[in-house]
Structure formats: structure tokens, C-alpha cells
Amino acid sequence: ASSLAQAGAASGRTIGAAIAANLLGNNPYTTIVQTQFDGVTPGNEMKWQTTEPSQGSFNFGPADQIVSFAQSHNMKIRGHTLVWYNQLAGWVNNVPASQILSVMNNHITAEMTHFKGNIWYWDVVNEAFNEDGTRRSDIFQNDIGNAYIADAFTTARAADPNAKLCYNDYNIEDMNSAKSQAVYSMVQSFKASGVPIDCVGFQSHFIVGQVPADFQATLQKFANLGIDVQITELDDRMPTPASSANLNQQATDYANVAKACLGVSRCNDITTWGVGEPDSWVPGTFSGQGQALLYDSNYQPKPAYTSFLNAL
Ligand code: XIL
């Protein structure tokens, strides 16, 4: 295959990248996005702090740029994300507790209505669990209670019935973790009680050499609940400067991720969280770490690119 998208399409998988509106037009970045990928996720442009920076005042401009770019290149769009404690507009924390549910539902409805018909899968709720499997203490959990996630999905289904709805999180790729088990139990109870959920997104922010050996089994376990599974924010970080041993291990890791998805019929998307080192969130977030994506600091393909392509 001559591109990741073409390789993925041969087995019915979409291969996406998180992109940034303010980088569109930069090259070779934009050329790589257009030629290698057939899906995009806005990295920040659909988050609450951008889309509803003050109550009832919406700003969809940056996200609209990504939507029109994607549509003009026939790319699928993952919407990310509607309800999340982080990158939340500051005003939300000052809303009286009794009004948080209606504020949340209004945000979901307004944003999904704006993008109605254009979004393939939406990350309705992002990162709602702690590592020990308990619910994260945030404004939604504290003011609405456990039911807020089900409420969010019910509202989302009504707003755009044709969009698939995901719960998205990290450190759930190994089924032995308490967090993975808690998310599994939640989805199981949603399916049993008719709460509309279509998908779980596995962020997959990996450390080189540490892709869980049971990743495919975990994807299959979740898929067996009758939902789609997606790899939504893939990267694989290492200490920088990168050693050739780590770059080779990373090539193995990316191939293993491709194989894990291809081994599960309901795994229909692999999205990397960026294109290359300059646009990766890793160096700015994990001190001394980087080179987590398929392209290097000059947007040249790395060993991981070739092995990922070949494994698709
Ligand atoms: C990151 C973005 O890539 C950064 O640009 C931003 O500064 C912080 O957020 N999990 C998620 C993503 O769900 O939204 C995060 O994206 C990375 C971790």
C-alpha cells in the first residue's frame, strides 16, 4: 500500500490523525495528513473551553475549519470531546450545582446540533474514571452524581441520532487494570439498561515497550458487549534523544497495535494523536519524553511508520 489510509481501507479500518486548525496549510504537515490518513480528530478545537467559552456563547470557528478540510478530502471526523473535566471553560465551575445537569445537556445539544450529520463518532464523555476504578471527582460527578454519564449519552443520542457515541479513556487497554474493569462494568450496565452507547475509545498513550500484551484480548472483551472499539489517541513515547533500540522497539509496538485492532472485527479505527514530533503533545507534557508518533522532527517517516503500514 502507498498510504496508511489505503492499507487500513483494505481491511475496512479508518486510519486517522489528531490535527490542529492552526497548522492546516503548513507543509509537509498538511500534505501528510491528506495523503496518509482518511480520518481526523480535532486535537483541541471541539473542547468546551473553545466551543462555549462563556455561558451560551458558542465558538465553532476553529472546529469548522477542520470539518471543512476533512470533508474536502473525504476524511471521517471523530468529535472530541463534549464532557470532560479538563480544558473545561472556567465559568462552568461557578454554575450552581442544581444547574449543572442542564448546562451539560445544553452544551451537548448545542455542539452536536452545530455539527449534526458531519461527525462519525463522538467522544461524549472523556476520562471519567480514576486509576482505582472509582469515578473522578469533577464538577459533573460531584453535582449530578453517577448518573451524569448516562444522562450525557441519552442527550447525545437525541441531538444527532446518526452519530456513534463513545466513552473515551486512557489506561484501559489492559483488562487487568481496575480502571478498565470499571469502564467495562459501566458499558455492560448501559447495554443492559438501554443507555445509548456505541463505542469505547482506547486512547492508547503508550510507553515504548509497554503495549499491554492483552490489548487485543481487551478490545475483544469490550467488543463482545456489542459495541465498536476504536484506538483513538495512539502514541508511544520514549526518552529523548531517541535511541535506535527504542525506535526499533517502537516499530514493533506500532505493528502490535495494528495487529490488535485487525484481530478484532469491531475495531474500525486507529487514530494517532498527531502526525510528527513538532505537533505532538508529548514533549510538552512528559518531561524528557518524545518521538511518540510515526513521523520525526522533520516529518520524515520513522521505522514505526513502515512497520505500522506493513502490519495494517
Ligand atoms: C491534549 C492536546 O493534544 C494538547 O494540545 C492540549 O494542550 C492538552 O490536551 N487525552 C485527551 C486529549 O483526551 O484531549 C489530550 O489532548 C491528550 C490526553
The number of angstroms, rounded, from the C-alpha of 251 to the middle of its chain's C-alpha atoms is: 21
80, 205, 141, 179: CA torsion to nearest 10: 140
pLDDT digits over 87-146, tens only? 999 999 999 999 999 999 999 999 999 999 999 999 999 999 999 999 999 999 999 999
What percent of the chain stands above pLDDT 90?
A: 100
Pick the residue whose CA is nearest to atom 9 on ligand 1.
44
Domain ranges of the chain: 4-311
Active site residue 233: yes
Helix (H) or strand (E) holding 201: strand 199-202
C-alpha cell at 44: 483541541
Q: State the pLDDT at residue 1.
A: 84
44 Cα: distance to centroid of ligand 1 (angstroms): 7
- Alpha-carbon span 222 to 291, nearest angstrom: 30
Handedness of CA 15, 21, 24, 28 (dihedral sign): negative
Ligand 1: does its nearest atom lie under 6 Å from the Cβ of 44?
yes
Q: Which of 19, 22, 44 maximizes ligand 1 atoms within 8 Å of its Cβ, making it the mutation to test the pocket?
A: 44
Percent of the chain residues past pLDDT 70, beyond the cut: 100
- Report the C-alpha gap between 39 and 13 in whole angstroms: 10
126 Cβ closer than 6 Å to some ligand 1 atom:
yes
Distance 278 CA to ligand 1 centre (A): 15
Mutate to test the pocket of ligand 1, among 273, 275, 282, 293 (most ligand atoms within 8 A of CB): 273
**In sequence order, what are the beta bridge partners of 40?**
17, 77
pLDDT digits (tens, 9 = 90+) for 281-299: 999 999 999 999 999 999 9
- Rg of the Cα trace of the chain? 19
For residue 281, give the ligand 1 atom closest to its CA.
Answer: 3
Cβ(43) – ligand 1 distance below 6 Å: yes
Its ipTM equals: 0.99
- Asked if residue 49 has its Cβ within 6 Å of ligand 1, the reply is no
- From residue 59, alpha-carbon distances to 95, 103, 138, 143 in Å are 20, 16, 24, 26
Ramachandran bin of 274, using left for φ above 0, alpha for ψ from -120 to 50, beta for the remaining angles: left
The CATH homologous superfamily to which domain 4-311 belongs is Glycosidases (3.20.20.80)
**Is-contact 173 138, C-beta < 8 A?**
no
96: left (phi over 0), alpha (psi -120 to 50) or beta: beta
Catalytic pick among 45, 52, 127, 173:
127
Judged against a pLDDT cut of 90, whether residue 275 lies above it is answered with yes
Other CB atoms within a 10 A radius of the CB of residue 62 amount to: 16
Give the residue-averaged pLDDT of 72-78: 98
d(CA 265, CA 219): 10
Per-residue cell: 47? 473542547
Beta bridge partners of 302: none
Kindly give the number of the ligand 1 atom that is closest to the alpha carbon of 284: 7
